[in-house]
Structure 1
Amino acid sequence: MKDVPLYPSKLGHKAQNRLESGGGRVDAVVIGSINVDLVVRVREMPGPGATVLAESARHQVGGKGANQAIAAARQGVRVRLIGALGTDAFAPMLKDSLAHAGIDISGVAEVPGPSGTALIFLEPCGQNRIVVIPGANAALSPESVERTLLATEAPRETAVMLQNEIPRDAVMAAIRAAHLRGWRVVWNVAPPSEVPAGVLRRGDVIAMNEVEAAQVTGREVSDERTAAEAAEAAEAMLARGAGLTIVTLGPKGVVATSARGTFHLPAWPVEVRDTTAAGDTWLGAFVAAWDGGEDVHEALRYATAAASLCVSRMGAADSIPARREVEAFLRSRPQGKFV
């Protein structure tokens, strides 16, 4: 496993064109959850039977699907989101926020009942604990996903981003439909679930954090040997069929493995204020910056910079940086490797 220096990003022409595409072009389709997040700041997590007073609470747009769509859109990518909202009071706010972010929400269905909800408990160190209530997300059917995806007009270079906060059969239907169109799949296996061998193709990507990697592969990823053990888990996932496996490690960076080898990209040191949506920011920025070719190093650097900015801010969708902010962050960092 090689450590890759964190030089300022110089993206390839295809990726640069994607970031500047605009117009009616669709460069990424995100299929996933849309939630209203209730974020509660606490000084300490309550134990069994205990009660603690919160410092503050707020509602915001969330859900892994919505966060990843916003992250990609803020890099200048044209994004279509496929998902479901309820008929509750939160639905109009969620819809307006997504549309304001420049996301095509014509693929978002309305189903009777509540929208998805997430309870996020945020500790002073910036770490969070999350409980998700699926709501309308659970009503996303494989038939509607396949129909909407196959009707989407997009070029062959399009990436289809998936997560596991929607029904499993809808995820599988999306993979099949994406392959029919010749699009690459970027599957964020979160919450963790089995990745059957043969479902993915060589051009596809599996992405997880270190906790999810340990649960999916059954391989321990400890604090003492995080990068090395994450690399072992990433290499094990290649046997499932994907061409690229990524394991994000928070402040320790990211490990990526492909047929060309395994490498570790350290993270820039930043003051962590809130880790909510950091993984989604990383993945949305990565998809925006990667052209699907063999050299992924620059896209990994770009995504790591975006996530670094995200964790230094409060909020979920509100903390996701725009392209100009990511580029400024990269320009402000001297060349070299950070550990």
Structure 2
Amino acid sequence: MKNPFAHGSLPPIPLPDLTEATRLTRSGRLGEATALIGRLLGRGQPEATPPFEPSPLTPPTIDGEAIEITPRPGGAPRPQAPPAGRGAFLALTHRGPAGTRDYKLFVPPGSGDSSLPLILMLHGCTQDPDDFAAGTGMNKLAEEAGCLVAYPRQPASANPSKCWNWFNDENQHRGQGEAALLAELTRAIIGERRVDPARVYVAGLSAGGAAAAILAVTYPDLFAAVGVHSGLACGAARDMASAFAAMRQGGATVRPAPSAIPAIVFHGDRDTTVHPGNGDSLVSQFTADRSGLRETSQTGRAPGGHGYRRTLHSAADGTVLCEQWTIQGGGHAWSGGQPAGSFTDPRGPDASAEMLRFFLAQCHPGLGAKAPC
């Protein structure tokens, strides 16, 4: 029988994995089931790719307006303490009522007394803050734009594969579990550093992307926008069995976001770890019940790299509520990432640059921004 959820010829997660997850869950062996999810989310490392070689490209357009797509070729060493005058990458620990987590914080040079934007970056399974920072290249972009970037660390004590536990119901509600812990950590940084509270954003990859979506849905008063790469919508799963089903099949029906938080979504159409249909579910979550949205799309190709489709969901006044990037031929990896990190695809387009561009155009409507957006 043909799988009704099949995405073209995309190989789904093998059915034996789903059966095994169900068996482990029913027998109460939740730790082993969690580890199995982590192994599957951590298996998507792409094969080595040839060096990135940019080639000429006519800029794509939407309704006649040129869109700048900026590739970021080459690699970077694993982050160490930056040289003097180039900012700082600090190793810190948050301790609060909701729990304790180590995190790394990039502070750009010359921040002085300015109130800066803050981006919370949530790594994927098997990763850590240094790896994620190296792979996304977000610190370099934040240095240029003048942003703080925080990278919480999920320890193996919380998940054997260091995944954020997005699939547990207790972590999908305001004031509970990992959602409460990450929100508390974010508020602590806002209180301790010079942060513009109207310009606080969250992004993540894979399990971290799913956790970012949960934070956007449960704490829309805290975050001005969300970026999800190769992740899943809030509510896509409630337990181990439904997590495997969502990863394998995609396209789950999820509840609408309670407020119109702007979202940018990236997903490779050849992702065999988290089904590409989950990208569509995320878009549905952040655009549902928003009447009068206008949808416009354009296609293009990163220089020397992947093709893509970029779709904008805009209000009548032109405000973009949701932006979706489908990477043609992309797998389970950060698009346009640096080879110094894991789960990256240097063939672009550059997800980090596009997320940052999208974020800095957003200010939280309920808070007074201290700088123009």
User: TM-score category by the smaller chain?
Assistant: 0.3 to 0.5
Task: Report the structure, 1 or 2, having the larger helix content.
Answer: 1
TM-score, length-normalised on structure 1? 0.42
Instruction: Report the TM-score when normalising by structure 2.
Output: 0.39
